[in-house]
Amino acid sequence: MQSTPLAKKTTNSWLVSSWAIALIVALPILSVFYIALFPEENIWKHLYDTVLPVYIITTLKLLAGVGFLSVILGVGTAWLVTMCQFPGRRFFEWALLLPFAVPAYVIAYVYTDILEYSGPVQGFLRDLFGWQTPRDYWFPEIRSLGGAVTMLTLVLYPYIYLMSRAAFLEQSASLKDASRLLGCSPLQSFFRISLPIARPSIAVGLSLVSMETLNDFGTVDFFAVKSLSAGIFDTWLNMGNLGGAAQIASLMMIFVVFLIVGERMSRYKQQQFHNQDRFKALATYPLTKGKAALAFLACFVPLLAGFLIPVGLLLFYSLNYTKQFYTEDFQSHALHSFTLAISASVACLIIAVLLGYAQRLNPNKRSLKIAINFSSLGYALPGAVLALGVLVPLAHFDNSVDAFMRSHFDYSTGLLLSGTVFAVIFAYCVRFLAVSAGAVSSSLNKVTPSMDMASRSLGMTPMGTLLRVHLPLIKGGLLTSLLVVFVDCMKELPATLILRPFNYDTLATFVYQYASDQRLEQCALAALLIVAVGIVPVILLSRSIASSRDIKPA
């Protein structure tokens, strides 16, 4: 069907809109680099000579520790629940994703309350053995680099578990059968067949874990770990130097670029092509009683430490503060969280549909693919970096408008964008647009192009086709996108802390402030609400993965 001038004009308008969105999303990144290159007071040499080496070394140790432990937990548990038969396997298939719902800063506060010197664990040990002072015994320090590594691992390993389990389910059953016929044990088959084929997926999960580790602020701040994320806050808010903070933020973005490039190179070098025979049920290996008990413990311990203990303690604490749910302050914090999260998730969905449909209308436009990939960079930005990049251009806009109004009309406009709810929503959209765009694009790709051609042949415009054909067909993907972005916004802490208006607290900032002051009991109900909201997408993800392949006993 030949394109009419009107159709070409409509297609071009979608193309221009997509590029405009990409440039707006890229604005925070460009702002950070500009301030880093042209600071008002250049303290780079001072940072380099004093704290920067500590920030870099600590961040590298944090990334290495969390990455290593997350791979061990994620890959190991994914293989056990996918390929082995033991009591509780069906339960662990979805339960191992539950720590995903617990923000890292929440679990850090819980375990500090349990394991610190005045906590119940050390108190019990002192009573049991008659110890009097800390000099009488040794106990690992929870507020340390090792403690931060452990806390982050407990809530981030589900990324690798998720990717690994999906990869194991997609693998060819014939390859495993062939390895067994050639004399490989189940463990040898795992190392020689399953693990090499799953490496690209594991690399994707590891890159997500690393980016979330870089983004974390609540845990490293509470544990006094001098990472790059904590360094941005310290340089900006405590030292009052915006340029120095932007320079550290630029360094963090270089870390992110290395992570993205490394992950893509890993996938490129390890491409595996194999017959998936997805309609053939995947056979599982029965375990003996001893090995089945070990498999059960291997799956139960991460679930216990990453979800059951922290949630159980929060439930216990919240029993004494149930009346808090009806207080005006708590309802205000909850309303702020839900309002911001709903607004950002709807905005992300609209933008994601616009970008996804523009790509569908222009499938061969290389420039459009570049624009869409560029607009997805926000997810790789740590929250502290993103907040810095958002605040600077918005503040510049506010100051310019205020100066113009003062000089021409003798009227001060004050803060129009920065220091308002708009700044927080904008930051959420930049950070989580990639999540929404991925879900929408995946759903649109499943709609056959013949639907577009039939609609256009009946006289429908591109917008009419989108509204009357595509959106009803992909409503499942749209709801998934809304839900996942909503939960991510509810948990986001660093960007919210910096950009929120004065006296405008969310559940996340409320939990951070009270728990930092050693008042975990008073914010337990708020933390529990954040966790409860996060459980919903976890269950949906688990069901989606489990339904992708039939499994039968060997």
Residues 250-289: pLDDT tens digits?
888 788 777 777 766 765 555 554 545 555 556 677 888 8
Give the mean pLDDT of 160-186: 73
- pLDDT winner (highest mean) among 291-295, 389-393, 475-479: 291-295
| Pick from 147, 137, 61, 145: nearest CA to 112 | 147
Q: Given strand 84-85, what is the order of strands in its sheet? A: 84-85, 282-286, 551-553
Confidence of residue 236 (pLDDT cuts 50, 70, 90): confident
- pLDDT winner (highest mean) among 63-72, 98-107, 127-136, 513-522: 63-72
| Residue 478 CB partners (closer than 8 Å, separation 6+) | 349, 353, 439, 440, 443, 471
| pLDDT of 316 higher than 70 | yes
For 64-78, 483-497, 540-554, which range has the lowest pLDDT when averaged over its residues? 540-554
| pLDDT of 372 higher than 50 | yes
Spatial distance between the Cα atoms of 212 and 389, rounded to a whole number of angstroms: 18
Three-state DSSP class for 373? helix
Confidence of residue 73 (pLDDT cuts 50, 70, 90): very high
The one-character DSSP state at 321 is G
| pLDDT of 303 higher than 70 | yes
Give me the pLDDT at residue 473, please.
82
For 196-200, 253-257, 419-423, 542-546, which range has the lowest pLDDT when averaged over its residues? 542-546
Q: For residue 26, how far is the Cα from the chain centroid? A: 19
Asked if 344 contacts 432 with a C-beta cutoff of 8 angstroms, the reply is yes
Asked if 489 contacts 474 with a C-beta cutoff of 8 angstroms, the reply is no
Give me the pLDDT at residue 270, please.
53
Asked if 146 contacts 140 with a C-beta cutoff of 8 angstroms, the reply is yes
- pLDDT winner (highest mean) among 291-305, 318-332, 413-427: 291-305
Give me the pLDDT at residue 39, please.
86
Give the mean pLDDT of 510-517: 88
| pLDDT of 312 higher than 50 | yes
Long-range contacts from 415-421, C-beta under 8 angstroms, 24+ separation: 418/391, 418/394, 418/499, 419/499, 419/501, 419/502, 420/501, 421/339, 421/340, 421/343, 421/501, 421/504
For 128-132, 415-419, 438-442, which range has the lowest pLDDT when averaged over its residues? 438-442
| pLDDT of 486 higher than 50 | yes
| Residue 186 CB partners (closer than 8 Å, separation 6+) | 83, 84, 180, 285
The CB density around residue 455, as the number of other CB atoms within 10 Å, is 18
Asked if 97 contacts 538 with a C-beta cutoff of 8 angstroms, the reply is yes
| Pick from 260, 207, 214, 492: nearest CA to 374 | 260
By 3-state DSSP, what share of the chain in percent is helix, strand and coil, each rounded to 5? 80, 0, 20
For 22-31, 107-116, 268-277, 280-289, which range has the lowest pLDDT when averaged over its residues? 268-277
Give me the pLDDT at residue 2, please.
46
Give me the pLDDT at residue 282, please.
62
Give the mean pLDDT of 379-393: 81
Asked if 42 contacts 243 with a C-beta cutoff of 8 angstroms, the reply is yes
Q: Average model confidence (pLDDT) for the chain?
A: 83
Give me the pLDDT at residue 453, please.
81
Give me the pLDDT at residue 345, please.
92
Give me the pLDDT at residue 410, please.
85
Confidence of residue 334 (pLDDT cuts 50, 70, 90): very high
Give whole-number Cα distances, 112 to 106, 121, 125, 213, in Å: 10, 11, 16, 19
Direct distance between the N- and C-terminal alpha carbons of the chain, in angstroms, rounded to an integer: 53
- Which has the higher per-residue pLDDT, 459 or 76? 76
- Which has the higher per-residue pLDDT, 7 or 422? 422
Give me the pLDDT at residue 61, please.
95
Burial class (CB in 10 A: 0-12, 13-18, 19+), 271: exposed
Gyration radius of the chain's alpha carbons:
25
The CB density around residue 230, as the number of other CB atoms within 10 Å, is 23
Q: Any idea of the CA torsion for 444, 446, 449, 451, to the nearest 10 degrees?
A: -80
| Pick from 426, 360, 357: nearest CA to 390 | 426
Give the percent of the chain with pLDDT over 90: 23
- Which has the higher per-residue pLDDT, 29 or 53? 53
Give the percent of the chain with pLDDT over 70: 88
Partnered with residue 551 across adjacent β-strands are: 282
- Phi then psi dihedrals of residue 148, to 5 deg: -65, -40
- Which has the higher per-residue pLDDT, 265 or 492? 492
Give whole-number Cα distances, 479 to 345, 346, 475, in Å: 10, 10, 6
- Farthest-apart Cα atoms in the chain, separation: 88
Confidence of residue 422 (pLDDT cuts 50, 70, 90): very high
